[in-house]
Amino acid sequence: MEEIKDTFLHPAVPLDFQNNYRVGAYMQRYLDGFKEKKILGAKCSQCGRVVVPPRKYCGDCNLVMEEFVELPQEGTLENFTVGHVVLEKGQLNRAEAPYVIGMVKLDGASNALLARLQVAPADARTGMKVKAVWQDQVEGEYSDLDCFEPA
Partner 1 sequence: MRNVGIVGIGYTPVFVSKRKDVSIAEMISEAVDAGLKNTGLKPEDIDAYVFGNMATFEGVNMPHLWATEYMHARGKPIMRFATGGTIGMAAFHGAYYHVASGMADIAMAVTYEKHSEGDAQVGLMGIITPEVMAMLAAGIDVTGQSGMGAIGGGSAGGISFQASSYLHRSGASIEHIDAMAALERRNAAKNPYAHLKDPEATAEKIAQTPMVSWPIRFGHICPTTDGATVCIVASEEKAAKIADKVAWVLGVANCASDATTANLIESQITDPAEQLPAIIASKKACERAGIEDPKKEIDYVEIYNGFAHQTLMYLEKVGMCEVGEAHKLLEAGELEINGRCPVNASGGVVSTNSIGTSALNRVTECALQVMGQAGERQVEKEVHKAMAHGWGGLMQYCTITILGDKPKKL
Partner 2 sequence: MDKKVAIAGFRMAAAPDLETTRERLVFDLSKGLLDDLGIDRDAVDNFVLCSNDFMDGRTISHVFLGPPAGGYMKDQTKVEMDGLNAMIYATMGIISGQYDVTMVLAMSLTGSQASPYLYTDYSLDPTYDRQLKLLNELSAAALEAKSYLAANGYSEELLDVVASQNLGNAAANPGQARRIDGVSREKVKASPYYYEPLRELHCYPPTDGGCAMILVSERKAKELTDKPVWVLGMGRSTDTYFLGDRDLSTSLSAAQAAERAYAMAGIKDPRGEVALAEIMSLFAHQEPLLAESMGLLEKGKAAAAYESGETAVSGKMPLNPSGGPLGGHPLCASGLIRAAEAARQLRGEGGDNQVKKDGVALVHGQDGVCAQQSAVVILGT
Per CB under 8 A, residues contacting partner 2 are: 6, 8, 10, 12-13, 15, 19, 21-24, 27, 51, 53, 55, 59, 79-85, 87, 89-92, 101-103, 105, 110-116, 126, 142
Q: Give the one entry of Zn ion, partner 1, partner 2, none that residue 47 binds, where binding means its C-beta sits below a cut-off of 5 to 8 angstroms depending on kind.
A: Zn ion
Query: Per-residue x/- mask for partner 1, residues 36 to 65, rule CB under 8 A?
Result: -------------------xxx-x--x---
**Angle CA 110–64–38, to nearest 5:** 50
Q: Give the one entry of Zn ion, partner 2, partner 1, none that residue 6 binds, where binding means its C-beta sits below a cut-off of 5 to 8 angstroms depending on kind.
A: partner 2
Three-state helix/strand/coil letters over 8-68 = CCCCCCCCCCCCCCCCHHHHHHHHHHHCCCCEEEEECCCCCCEECCCCCEECCCCEECCEE
Q: Give the one entry of Zn ion, partner 1, partner 2, none that residue 97 binds, where binding means its C-beta sits below a cut-off of 5 to 8 angstroms depending on kind.
A: none
Instruction: Reply yes or no: is the peptide bond before residue 98 cis, omega within 30 of 0.
Output: no
* Comparison of 85 and 151: residue with beta carbon closer to partner 2: 85
Minimum distance from CB of 28 to partner 1 (Å)?
9
Q: How many Å apart are CA 68 and CA 28, to the nearest integer? A: 12
Say if residues 121 and 82 touch (Cβ distance below 8 Å). yes
Say if residues 101 and 86 touch (Cβ distance below 8 Å). no
Contacts (Cβ under 8 Å, ≥6 apart) of 3: none
Q: Give the one entry of Zn ion, partner 2, partner 1, none that residue 85 binds, where binding means its C-beta sits below a cut-off of 5 to 8 angstroms depending on kind.
A: partner 2
* Comparison of 7 and 62: residue with beta carbon closer to Zn ion: 62
